[in-house]
Structure formats: structure tokens, C-alpha cells
Structure 1
């Protein structure tokens, strides 16, 4: 009879050794491969946090900007570069409440670990020292307030500044329209105050007088008290500063109060829904705007491409804020392509951009962080813009 005990005792030991060796190889190379792939994927992700109002009185601005960014993301996904750099957009709705901006920023930086933040409208100033402390690129758009850029190298602005916008309007009013007595009605927040101060400074420097200034709250719809006071002052020009759909009520109520002065304003008043609501009250109004917004059939090939893509997706024509959403994201992607997604490299890449054709026109980044593009004056005639004389 054969004795199987030696065989049984020896055979399992050999199998055990082989099994241990195979398991070791798998754990060493297999897991390193898995973790290596995970690390590579994480390194190739580019998170862009976006803080904007998607609800509230300014929701149409936030939604317009978001629509532009969504088109930019779709366009980017079609490019070969998207295979090497995966774009992640993280939107955070503030509801137009400036107090929610810091909380949104902290979540995007500390939880999502986004190296760059695009911030829209109110509350951006509170992020300026945080961006420097956290070493995060902060790109402000639809934020014209004075005092945004020039404080530290991490902050950029891609929008008209109150200083340049209001100064352009003041110079045109004084030199071209021969207006000498102006009243200002403005939204009582950092944006409105920046425009009020910049217009006042330039207009008085030229020799004009500001004879009345009236403020209103962002959610106001009744401006009859301010209109009556402006009527009593008898200006020959009224500079209207605000945004949101309720801004259409201002020229209406000024005319109803008997104000016959020439109306001046900013680009926000040229939105189709505002022009439609204001009707005859804005006929003859002059406003400043970016050059691209006056003729969508002209401009750069990038503008035409964006307009075509936007019309195809949303079944309507982009007006103003959509372009800044589109190009804001494209600027950051261009900076990431040039320098990388690490915050310092991203900042350097954005700072180096010069004479780049985008949808808004040819842009350059100034030493102070302002991103420059052409500004013009236009006039509303019968509900449509025309070139100003």
C-alpha cells in the first residue's frame, strides 16, 4: 500500500509558497498600477470654481455667464487637449447675497481644491486677501467695482472697470454732447458707488457739475421719490447706474416725473428684456459697452464661432454677459495650457497673455491684473442700438 502522507504533507507547502509569491507580485505591481493611474488622473484634473448668482434679482446675469461657460466647456471637450487635461466646473449659487460669497469660496478651495476661482458680482472684495493667503487665482467677471485689482498678484478682472467705463461716459457727455449739469441715480452697493465716484471725478475735472445724486437699494422697484428730487434739480443729463430687471423702471419713472434730461447709462441697460420693458423711455439714451456687443456679425472668428454655438444650443442670441462667461473660462484654459494647473504656474500663465483674439476682441492682461478690451459709446434709437455720433 502506498503511503500518501509524505506527499500530502509536502505538496500543500509548495502550493502555499507559490500562492504567496503570486499574491506579492499582484499587490506590488497591480496596486501600484491602480494607484499610479489614480494619481495621474487626479493630477490631470483642472477644477475651476465658479461663484455666481443663479437665483435672485441678478440671476439673469449669473445664468448668462453660466451659459457662456457651458459653451466653452463643450468646445473644449472637442479638442485633443481635453484628453490630457480634464476640466471640472464647480458652480456655487450665491442668490445675489454678498454674505454667501466667502462660504462658497471656502468650499471650492478647501473641499474641491480648485486652483482657480471665477467670481461674479457682489462680495468679491472679501475674497481678495483670501486668494493671496491661499495662493489661488481669482478671476472677477461682471465686477466693475473700483479697488478689485492691483492689490496682489493673484487677482484678475475680466470686465469693464467702473473707472474706465464711467470716465468714458463722462468724457463723451461733456465733450461730445456738451452737457454741463448732471444728476446720478445709482444702486447703493460697491458697484454703484464705484460708478458714482468715477463719473463724478471725471465730469467735474472736465468742468461739469454734479447737482444731484440719488441712491436706491438693489431690490427696489419704486424710484418715484428719487425721480422727483432729480426733477427738482433740473439737470441736463441723468447718469443711470444699476442692473437687474427692475432697472427698466428708472427711466420710465424719471420721464413720468417730468425729467427731460438726456439719459446716460452703462451696458447693463442694453439687455433686450430691459429695453423692451423700458420702451420709449430709453429712446435717445447713451450707454457704454464693449465693442463686440454692438455687432455680432463683425469681430473675431472666435466671436462668430461662439455666437453660432450659442444659437445652436440655446435657440437664442447671446447679448453681453454670455461672452464674458465664455472667454473667462477660455482664458483660464489657455493659462493652464501655457503654464500648468498648479496655482503659481496658472497665475504666471494668465499674467503673460497678450494680444490674444477672443470672442470679446483682442485682449491683453495688464500689470495690475485688469484684462483689457475695446470700449465704445452707443445710442438707443427705437429700441435698438446705433453708433453714437
Structure 2
């Protein structure tokens, strides 16, 4: 009888120990001195420059917060995973961050297609996902319903498409346009739709639509077709790798009309790819300008240069802003509980960030301003400010 009781006691103790160990593995320890935030970024692959710039902005904001005493008395740590610029890898990355690294919130990815691939995982695990740069409307609203755990710190595609259509008709005085779209990109497709709708509404005519695929190298055949359309401008909603090659080849074919686009143009590598001359007479919408004399922007630019030895592009600024949103939400929630962070993000109001002031709307999109940038002799020049 004694042996039986001892055996039962031993089994009970082992069982309790198992429960304790399981609990420690599934959630961060209550007395942890760190707040773990996930970073699902494109660190290799086709848009690696975007991912690295955005991550650098996030890390700078967290470093500054930690230097000022941390958040809720704890050090905030960015745990990163490389999605290799691919949607399937983005899904794998967020799964790892949530199930293995036990993060409270996930930042990223950068590209809209990659963000869309992660949202169901965040929803299923009730972990907030905030993208600094994903502009596709479906990221926060799907089939008319707001995704409860999806947020962003950038403006959305319809805003960019509308801005560039208005810029084309009102500033460039364009009456005709060709749309040259990346058929492999949700980002590109959404921008093309909003640009076309506004350009036609403004009285313009879309005289042609052509397409390419990400990682294409030779665009001359299609550009030759576009040239004979004789449009006043060409709208290219795409990323810097393809934009640089398209601009270079378009100018080589004698296409000298304004090439216009969106924030996908914004990377120093575009100048390396296209060459300085090819980018003259090109314009794109963006989230901020490093040439803006606003003291907050200049302070950020100086800090980023000191940390990384280069000028921050808009993605770096947006990453920094998204990190400020996360820090602000943790403070207001007074917690790292994902549900409380979700609620705090949703209630973000009048938050001063580098690119302006952010108030979250009912669709989890920030209400904020933007700018149009002109490329002149390989340099970005502030052109116009756009209010929402």
C-alpha cells in the first residue's frame, strides 16, 4: 500500500513538473527582463534592400527606447526572421516567430504580397501584425471586413495611386498615360487600379496597359510597343530592381516622357541600375523626404546616418515610425499581452512620428500625409506635399 501511494505521488509530481515545463515553453516568463517583438523581413532575395532599411529603422527606434530606460522597465528586443522576399517563406517566418520565439507582436514583412501571406497565421494565433510598408488595401480589410490583428504605419495604395494620377494631370498636364504593371505583385496591381480610376476621373485617357514579371531583365520589346503609343507619361508601379532596368532601357529607346511611380522607386540602388541620366524626369510618391527641413526629420536623419553610415530612405523612416507605434502601444496598454497590444494599436491617436502625425482609422490604416519626389541628377528632390 505504501509503495502504491509513493508511486502515485511520484507520478503526480512528474505530471505537475511536465505542466510547468510546458507552460514555460509556451509563454515568456513573467519576470523576463525583455520584451520580444518579431521582425519578419526581406533580408535576402529580390527586395532585400527594402527589408534591411526597414529593419534598420525599427532597430534604431528600439535602441533609442532602451537607452532611455526601456519600455515598462524592460529592454525591447527585435527577434528577426528572413522571409527571403518570398510569400511562402514569409509564412514560415511568422510561424517560427510566434510558435518558437514566443513574440508578443510581429513587425513586417515589407512587400504587400509577403504581408498578405502572413495574416492568417497572426489571426489564428491572435498575435498583432504591423507592416511598416505594405500598402495593399487587402492587408487590413478583406471582403469588406477589418482584419482584427492587422495594422500598418504607411498610407495605402489608393492614396498613392490617386496622388500620382492627380500629379500627372495637374502638375505634368498629362492627358494620356500608359500603365506598365508588375503582374506578379499585389502591390503593383492595386496601385494600377487606383491610378487608372483617378486619371480617367481627372479627364485623362489610358492609351495602353502592358505587363512584366518580377525578376524580368529585358523590357525592350514591350517598351518598343509602349513608345509607339506616344503617351504623355508612363506609370510604373513597381520595385526598384525592375524600375531601374525599365528606366535605363526606356531612355535607350528614346522614350523621354516622364516616368512616374510610387514608393517602390525609393532605394539608392535604383540609381546604380538605371544610371543618373535615365532617372531625370522621373517622379514618385513617397512617405517622407529626407530633404524636409522639419526638425524631427532632420534629427532622425542625423541619428540614422550616425548609426548606419547612410541616409535613410522612406522605408527606414516607416520602420522607425512603426516601432514608435509599437512602443507607444506597449506603454498605453501597460502590458505585452497580444490582445491588449491589439486594442492599443487600434486606439492610436495623434501620435507624433517622423513622417507626420498618426491616427488609426476604423480600417486600421493611418491617416497621414505624403510627398512627391523628383529625381534630379541621381538625387531625390522634394517636389510637393500631399495631404490625405
The TM-score, its normalising length taken from structure 1, stands at 0.84
Secondary structure of 1:112 counterpart: coil
| Alignment of structure 1 residues 28-177 onto 2, 5 Å | 39-42=29-32, 45-82=34-71, 84-120=73-109, 121=111, 122-150=113-141, 151-177=146-172
Cα contact 1:45–1:85 (8 A) shared by 2: yes
Structure 2, unmatched stretches of 5+, are 1-23
Cα contact 1:300–1:361 (8 A) shared by 2: no
Structure possessing the higher radius of gyration over alpha carbons: 1
Q: Aligned-pair distance for 1:85? A: 2.4
Structure-1 residue corresponding to 2:247: 251
Q: Aligned-pair distance for 1:245? A: 3.0
Cα contact 1:269–1:275 (8 A) shared by 2: no
Secondary structure of 1:204 counterpart: helix
CA RMSD of aligned residues (A): 2.1
Structure 1, unmatched stretches of 5+, are 1-34
Q: Aligned-pair distance for 1:153? A: 2.1
CA deviation profile, 1:128-160 (whole Å, cap 9, x unmatched):
333233211110222122311133221111223
* Cα distance in 1 between the residues matched to 2:327 and 2:351: 13
* Cα distance in 2 between the residues matched to 1:243 and 1:123: 14
Secondary structure of 2:118 counterpart: helix
Structure-2 residue corresponding to 1:328: 322
Structure-2 residue corresponding to 1:19: none
Structure-2 residue corresponding to 1:31: none
CA deviation profile, 1:176-209 (whole Å, cap 9, x unmatched):
3221211011222111111111111111222222
Change (3 A) 1:47 1:270: closer
- Could you tell which deviates more after superposition, 331-340 or 356-365? 356-365
Q: Does 1:354 align with 2:349?
A: yes
Give the paired residue count: 349
CA deviation profile, 1:277-303 (whole Å, cap 9, x unmatched):
42212212222112x32425x2253x3
Q: Aligned-pair distance for 1:162? A: 1.3
Change (3 A) 1:300 1:155: farther
CA deviation profile, 1:298-317 (whole Å, cap 9, x unmatched):
2253x333222221122222
Q: Does 1:312 align with 2:306?
A: yes
Secondary structure of 1:160 counterpart: coil
Cα contact 2:72–2:331 (8 A) shared by 1: no
* Cα distance in 1 between the residues matched to 2:240 and 2:43: 13
Structure-2 residue corresponding to 1:7: none
The TM-score, its normalising length taken from structure 2, stands at 0.84
Structure-1 residue corresponding to 2:265: 269
Runs of 4+ in 1 over 4 A off after TM superposition: none
Secondary structure of 1:241 counterpart: coil
Q: Aligned-pair distance for 1:353? A: 1.6
* Cα distance in 2 between the residues matched to 1:128 and 1:57: 21
Structure-1 residue corresponding to 2:14: none
Q: Does 1:388 align with 2:379?
A: no
Bigger proportion of residues as helix: 1
Cα contact 1:276–1:383 (8 A) shared by 2: no
